[in-house]
Amino acid sequence: MASINTIVKGKNLDITPALRSYAEKKVAKFDKFLNDEQQVTAEVMMRTERGHHIAEITIDLSGLILRGVSKTGDMYASVDGAIERIERQFNKFKTKIQRKFQGPKLSELPNDLTTDSQDTVNGPRIVRTKRFAFKPMDVEEAVMQMELLGHDFFAFLNSGTEEVNVVYKRNDGNYGLIEPEL
């Protein structure tokens, strides 16, 4: 049976063996949804900011990203909250996710981690850069991925046109698609 490769990191926080074990045990709950061929990685980032304990958990299910963030006064409760958010996302899209894994295989792409920029430019500046590999997908999958991440927009490589597109959530509750015009 496949297992999840879990990476536990801390920022402004010492990760105790008990906390690491707790996070790994919680992430392991998703083992039951995996098949033997899936390469699954989970990153658990724990940090403290202004007295709050923040747990950010990202699970890469062979290219399909599930993400949960929780901020509480206790790190264990934050880990629980982040896992609960991921479970709700998974349950909401369970049928589509299972159909995706039973159909053609998703490409396995490396997952670059978020990096912070330390530029000293006056005025507004770029303070965070996210890098990720574009996985070819159709518009429906891009909308599902955007919803799973909880974002208002999502950039992707359209498998039909082989161009970079952006889907976004409109104020009226519908979705929009941005296609390049060269």
pTM of the shown model: 0.57
Q: What is the pLDDT of residue 100?
A: 61
Within 13 A of 91's CA, how many CA atoms are on the CB side? 6
**DSSP assigned state of 171:** T
**Higher-scoring residue by pLDDT: 109, 32:** 32
- The angle formed by the CA atoms of residues 100, 102 and 104, to the nearest 5 degrees, is 70
Q: What is the pLDDT of residue 106?
A: 41
pLDDT higher than threshold 90 for residue 22: yes
> How many whole angstroms separate alpha carbon 43 and alpha carbon 49?
19
Place of tokens 């507004």: 124
Q: What is the pLDDT of residue 29?
A: 84
Evaluated on CA atoms 98, 66, 130, 8, the torsion sign reads negative
pLDDT higher than threshold 90 for residue 37: no
> CATH number for the 115-178 domain, one of 3.40.50.720, 3.30.420.40, 3.30.505.50, 3.40.50.300?
3.30.505.50
pLDDT higher than threshold 50 for residue 104: no
pLDDT higher than threshold 70 for residue 66: yes
Q: Does domain 4-102 have CATH number 3.40.50.300?
A: no
Ramachandran assignment for 88, one of left (phi > 0), alpha (psi -120 to 50 degrees), beta (any other): alpha
User: In the predicted model, what is the mean pLDDT of residues 72-85?
Assistant: 93
The CATH 3.30.505.50 domain(s) of the chain lie at: 115-178
**Quick check: 75 and 13 in contact, CB under 8 A?**
yes
> How many whole angstroms separate alpha carbon 24 and alpha carbon 59?
12
**Higher-scoring residue by pLDDT: 14, 93:** 14
User: In the predicted model, what is the mean pLDDT of residues 53-69?
Assistant: 86
Q: What is the pLDDT of residue 122?
A: 56
Least Cα distance to 68 among 51, 50, 88, 52 occurs for 88
The CATH 3.30.160.100 domain(s) of the chain lie at: 4-102
pLDDT band of 149, cuts 50, 70, 90: confident
Q: What is the pLDDT of residue 71?
A: 93
**Higher-scoring residue by pLDDT: 79, 171:** 79
pLDDT band of 14, cuts 50, 70, 90: confident
Average pLDDT of the chain to the nearest whole number:
81
